[in-house]
Structure 1
Amino acid sequence: MTKKNYRRRRFVRVTVGAVAILVAIPLFVGVYSLFKPLPKGISTQSDFVKTDDLDLLYDVTYEDKNKAVHHEQEIVETMYEVIDHAEDFLLVDMFLFNDDYNHDTLEFPTLSEDFAARLVQKKQESDIPITVITDPINSFYGTYDTHVYKKLRDAGIDVIETDLSKLRDSNYLYGGYYRMFLTWIKPGGLKILPNALRPMDDKVGIGSYLRLLNFKANHRKTIMNEKEAVIASLNPHDGSSLHSNIAVRFSGDTLNDLLKSETAVLDFSGYDTSKIKKYEVETDKNTGEYEISLVTEGKIREALIDTVNEAEAGDSLKIGVFYLSDRGFIKALKKALDRDVQVQLILDINQDAFGNEKNGIPNKPVASELMNYKNPPEIRWYKSHGEQFHAKFMLHDNGEDSTLIVGSSNFTRRNLKDLNLETDLVVKSNSDSEEMISMNEYYDRLWNNKNGIYTLDYEEEAEDSIMKTILYRIQEGLGLSTF
């Protein structure tokens, strides 16, 4: 073999090896991490049980005829009641629990501080065990200890950040490279980048942004004691404090399912759950007019699509959601429209995020797609005053029976396909039950602008942009976004 041939073969081997290390192997790792086994206790649906103890809760922002903005809120106060009523334990799981926003240019109610103070007060008065689960975004992925964390921990309250590395990788093309080459860069080092969450604060580390780019989260919003629980779309986050939200408070046997679901998160996050596994909840005799089932992660998607598929001609589907983008759900909606199901959607405009302007993705291109379908639905936009229509629910009504799915999950790939952690409740009852009547009245109030201005005609904010449609489809398919 000549030296020239040897060098050529060596170059080929080196090139193939480099491509394998820099492209093929990270891609394999990324794809594997998209489909790897889920932690035990994740993506579950509980059995349906009956209860009479169930209340739907609404936070609503609207304008009156004089353009004055009003905020009607009841979710946080109900959560405070759960705290106050606790006698044996409190277990809280909240995605955003901080005061992160630009304090130099904006001002919001001190919701995170007030919520933390309520927990601390309960701990000081009763000394019951209180455990708070949250997402690493609150400390910018380990860059700093927040004052909320410090306040809670100083009072003897356990605060646990979810170990997101155990979850599947939504942004899988990046995730393979991150897992192979970048995990060694710690959040506290190389603090040379501006803090995107708190612009007025000190700079943060490169490692924090590298973790952020994985675009995954514990997105749950739950609070429970031994007698009752609330599952919500609300975060105890100052910048989110004026959002329009929805929640459900309930009691009964399903509390056991919620407790197991939250214990699973603590288990894979390295927390000693031996004491939590000894908690006992008060259950009823499985009687009542409401049948409820706890659904988490991918089981939420199954419940949504199954419910849409069950809708027949003349039935109604009423949807209100902050983000709508999941392709399987959109496909199911189109088939329902073809069956002459009446579909109404109230969507956030996706233009505001804590003082920052957004581009309308994904709701604008998805709404355009649906309205250009051969059998279009009815769509209205929730009118924003800087806040968000942050609710996440779907109501199916056939005139006799109703099914409501409500909770933390947006209708997106990340929220519905076993990537984020999410918690919803499925509620079934007669259509003339008190809470289903309440739900319809709430929706009709928003849809028809009763005693205020809540929603806008589709045409007022319609946008038919090919570029935004392409961008949405790329972001949804590859996980290259925060929705």
Structure 2
Amino acid sequence: MANKPRKQWSKRKRIIIGSLGVFALIYIAAIMWHTFKPLPEGISYAGDLHKTDQIEMITDLTFAQDQKGKGMVHENNIFDEVYTMIDEAEEFVVVDFFLVDGYYDEKEDFPKIADTLSTTLADKKKENPDMPIVFITDPLNRGYGSYENEWFKKMREAGVEIVYTDLDPLRDSTPIYSGIYRTVFQWFDIGGKGWIDNAMASDAPKMTIASYMTLLNVKANHRKAVVTEKEAMVTSSNPHDASGFHGNIALKVSGPVINDILEAEEAVSLYSGGPELPRIQAEESEGQYEVQYVTEKKIVDALLKDLAETKEGDKVWLGMFFIAKRGIVNELIDAANRGVEINMILDPNENSFGQEKSGLPNRPVVQEMVEDTKGKIKVRWYNTVIGQYHSKAIWIQTDKQTVISNGSANYTERTLDNYNLESNLRVVAPNDSELAGEMEDYFERLWNNEDAMYTVDMDEFQDEFTWWQRWIYTFQKAIKVTTY
């Protein structure tokens, strides 16, 4: 009889081990499939190069007259241009923005971008009830199903068609967590009324456990674009009040490239249950610029090719919020070592919406790039007294042409390896063109602190760099658990 309990325990042990083994296989299979599965049709898009003479650069800048924040100035132009585009539209309006809300805890008088944009679109629809107005956005703006925020409610009630992007068909960028989510968490109905504090701000609507479980997958429709029948804008800025003092860059274009943008946006709309989008009548024409719409991994594919073609004597300006993508880092190091002049203006990653940050990923990446080029790559940090240097732009000039890429995409794996949805305009311009000169003047203004304290020396923040920042950065990259 004494052997019977042992046999029962041995049998239970085999069942437990077998069950764990089956779960492990399912878990690994879920990770592998959702990391490498096919993308929805139309995602990771590269349009044709279209000639045009109509490209305009628009910027937002917040800066101080000195490093301590005295004499604060806000040059906000991007959303004023967005409102004008909407007001002047006669046939349709399509917008795609990642973050749209007015919740924040900081004690700042931020511009009311979310309210102004939502009111502008709602009024446009009321005045033109038959005009298609479509707003594609990220489910972050409804707390991943916990609530409908007041700005989207206002637009929806006016008749604006809201399309919340379905993130589930996209690949998983945090496989360790997402494997568990896909295997276990997503099957449980643990919704109900929100009761957990919102991470965005204390006055934002509360969220459910299920919503937080979805949030932890850290994936997004991060695009930022506005399209009408007359023109289109691709930008790095969000209609989010607390982002109102960020530094951002937008490019506004017209012509046949508008249809490429609409085609790529329609792919997101359709697979998310939204409508087909309109097109414009536009014929190819001559022009000094060539412009191309690129999304997701097609952004980095084009960029790596453009950087690889640089040679000694060429020049690169980079203005970026996050830089960590290995291929881009390596290509910039190689370019600097063969004699390309590379100047980078970066956000110090010191704060985010009032919360202190650790300097990742930019500071360890800067340390590596400066060391590996023996100081050939030059870096200045934006003087972020308020907000962030949120721009995502590069300017590459050879003896033949200037290539510009600007839009929503940070230089990270999450944004450029077909995880997030991202959008950029790639422009090929003559070296003596107005756009090429205007962007170079913009970077030189910031680099040289021509009329204010825009940037500070690299050592201002890099002196705080420690070995643990590089260790944490390397560890996070290895296990793919980051928010950038």
Question: Normalising to structure 2: TM-score of the pair?
Answer: 0.94
Q: What's 1:116 paired with? A: 118
Give the whole-Å Cα distance in 1 for the aligned partners of 2:178 and 2:49.
37
Give the whole-Å Cα distance in 2 for the aligned partners of 1:200 and 1:74.
28
Q: What's 2:267 paired with? A: 264
Contact 2:62 2:386 in 1 (8 A): no
Report SS of the residue matched to 1:166.
coil
Report SS of the residue matched to 1:13.
helix
Q: What's 1:134 paired with? A: 137
Q: What's 2:171 paired with? A: 168
5 Å-filtered alignment, 1:232-247, equals 232-247=235-250
The percentage of aligned residue pairs carrying the same residue is 37
Contact 1:141 1:208 in 2 (8 A): yes
1:347-370 superposed Cα distances (whole Å, 9 cap, x missing partner): 001112111111111111111111
| One-letter amino acid of the structure 1 residue matched with residue 64 of structure 2 | E
- TM-superposed CA distance for 1:109, in Å, is 1.8
Give the whole-Å Cα distance in 1 for the aligned partners of 2:20 and 2:190.
29
- TM-superposed CA distance for 1:479, in Å, is 3.1
5 Å-filtered alignment, 1:265-344, equals 265-273=268-276, 276=277, 279-344=278-343
Indicate how the Cα distance of structure 1 residues 71 and 78 shifts in structure 2: closer, same or farther if over 3 A, else same: same
| One-letter amino acid of the structure 1 residue matched with residue 230 of structure 2 | K
- TM-superposed CA distance for 1:201, in Å, is 4.6
Q: What's 2:474 paired with? A: 473
- TM-superposed CA distance for 1:318, in Å, is 0.8
- TM-superposed CA distance for 1:9, in Å, is 6.1
Give the whole-Å Cα distance in 2 for the aligned partners of 1:185 and 1:449.
55
Indicate how the Cα distance of structure 1 residues 110 and 185 shifts in structure 2: closer, same or farther if over 3 A, else same: farther
Indicate how the Cα distance of structure 1 residues 284 and 70 shifts in structure 2: closer, same or farther if over 3 A, else same: farther
Contact 1:215 1:479 in 2 (8 A): no
- TM-superposed CA distance for 1:314, in Å, is 0.9
Moved more, 466-475 or 320-329: 466-475
Q: What's 1:388 paired with? A: 388
5 Å-filtered alignment, 1:32-181, equals 32-64=33-65, 67-102=70-105, 105-127=107-129, 128-181=131-184
- TM-superposed CA distance for 1:155, in Å, is 0.5
1:434-466 superposed Cα distances (whole Å, 9 cap, x missing partner): 100001000100111111110000011113322
Give the whole-Å Cα distance in 2 for the aligned partners of 1:18 and 1:107.
56
Give the whole-Å Cα distance in 2 for the aligned partners of 1:73 and 1:106.
15
Indicate how the Cα distance of structure 1 residues 198 and 374 shifts in structure 2: closer, same or farther if over 3 A, else same: closer
Q: What's 2:368 paired with? A: 369
Report SS of the residue matched to 1:406.
strand
Contact 1:60 1:71 in 2 (8 A): yes
Check if 1:220 corresponds to 2:237. Answer: no
- TM-superposed CA distance for 1:27, in Å, is 2.3
- TM-superposed CA distance for 1:284, in Å, is 4.1
Give the whole-Å Cα distance in 2 for the aligned partners of 1:178 and 1:133.
25
Check if 1:414 corresponds to 2:414. Answer: yes
Check if 1:355 corresponds to 2:369. Answer: no
Report SS of the residue matched to 1:236.
coil
Contact 2:236 2:408 in 1 (8 A): yes
1:380-439 superposed Cα distances (whole Å, 9 cap, x missing partner): 000011200000011110144100011000000000000000000110011100100001
Contact 1:59 1:244 in 2 (8 A): yes
| One-letter amino acid of the structure 2 residue matched with residue 427 of structure 1 | V
Q: What's 2:428 paired with? A: 428
Contact 1:186 1:208 in 2 (8 A): no
Check if 1:20 corresponds to 2:48. Answer: no
| One-letter amino acid of the structure 1 residue matched with residue 38 of structure 2 | P
| One-letter amino acid of the structure 2 residue matched with residue 373 of structure 1 | D
List 4+ stretches of structure 1 deviating above 4 A. 2-9
Moved more, 195-204 or 87-96: 195-204
- TM-superposed CA distance for 1:375, in Å, is 3.4
Report SS of the residue matched to 2:187.
coil
Report SS of the residue matched to 1:453.
coil
- TM-superposed CA distance for 1:24, in Å, is 3.1
Give the whole-Å Cα distance in 2 for the aligned partners of 1:54 and 1:187.
49
Give the whole-Å Cα distance in 2 for the aligned partners of 1:341 and 1:192.
54
Give the whole-Å Cα distance in 2 for the aligned partners of 1:288 and 1:131.
30
Give the whole-Å Cα distance in 2 for the aligned partners of 1:201 and 1:38.
33
Report SS of the residue matched to 1:141.
helix
Q: What's 1:448 paired with? A: 448
- TM-superposed CA distance for 1:101, in Å, is 1.6
Give the whole-Å Cα distance in 1 for the aligned partners of 2:468 and 2:294.
35
| One-letter amino acid of the structure 1 residue matched with residue 290 of structure 2 | E
Q: What's 2:379 paired with? A: 379
